[in-house]
Amino acid sequence: MADPQALRARFVRTLQAARGTADGPDPGPYADHLLTRWQEPHRRYHTVEHLAAVLRHVDALQDHAHDPDVVRLAAWFHDAVYLPERSENEERSARLAERALPEAGVPDARTAEVARLVRLTVTHDPAGDDPDGQVLCDADLAVLASPPSAYAAYTAAVREEYHFVPNAAFREGRAAVLRQLLELPRLFRTPYGAEHWEATARYNLRSELDLLEVSASDPPSAP
């Protein structure tokens, strides 16, 4: 289980590092605000557990990043605004970063980079010369390479977040997301991700897509 206090301390360190030599207010309230968002009751997958997992994966991939502290801040903000019925969560999360980080003392260039990285999680398709984008997107998608039981828990949590969507519509929408991911030339762009996660993630995605397609083709049950 993710420890909110440990995450809070981690955010404080990251924000202070991202400031560099700039001064700023107490980082604690900014950490508290973000943690409150990540612990909203409607979340089932996009929770502090997901945040902690993404941060762990950024740590594992940090040698591939140009500015690991900026990537960590982007991880904090990438799902800070999350309403499953809305389609502009990434944009609203990026705008939150653009408002909060300058106030917190983060230089403009680093703030702009955090916002750019957050917006990149719409497609998870970073350019070949974008190491920070590659690290953030790989860290965010690493769940796709989970062992079977963990992957099943992930898909179940996603379904719970979209509990208000009828089954047929959910299957159609989820299948479209899976196909979009499978059509990417590579899911993972860092050398580590490509070597350790790519094959397992593609297997998981294809298996889930097969199940959705079989379920969609099943005849309706008798009353």
DSSP SS3 for 3: coil
What does the alpha-carbon distance between residue 113 and residue 131 come to, in Å, rounded to a whole number?
Answer: 12
* CATH of region 4-217, choose from 3.30.450.80, 1.10.1300.10, 3.60.15.10, 1.10.1060.10: 1.10.1300.10
Q: Is the dihedral of CA 113, 119, 120, 121 positive or negative?
A: positive
The one-digit pLDDT tens for each residue of the chain (223 residues) are 889 999 999 999 999 999 999 899 999 999 999 999 999 999 999 999 999 999 999 999 999 999 999 999 999 999 999 999 998 999 999 999 999 999 999 999 999 999 999 999 999 999 999 999 999 999 999 999 999 999 999 999 999 999 999 999 999 999 999 999 999 899 999 999 999 999 999 999 999 999 999 876 654 443 3
- Residue spans of the domains in the chain: they are 4-217
| 73, two tokens | 């801040």
CB neighbours of 138 closer than 8 A, spacing ≥ 6?
Answer: 57, 61, 188, 189, 190, 192, 193, 197
> Which residue carries 């900026």 as its tokens?
70
Tell me the pTM.
0.94
DSSP string across 180-216:
HHHTSS-S--SHHHHHHTHHHHHHHHHHHHHHHHHHH
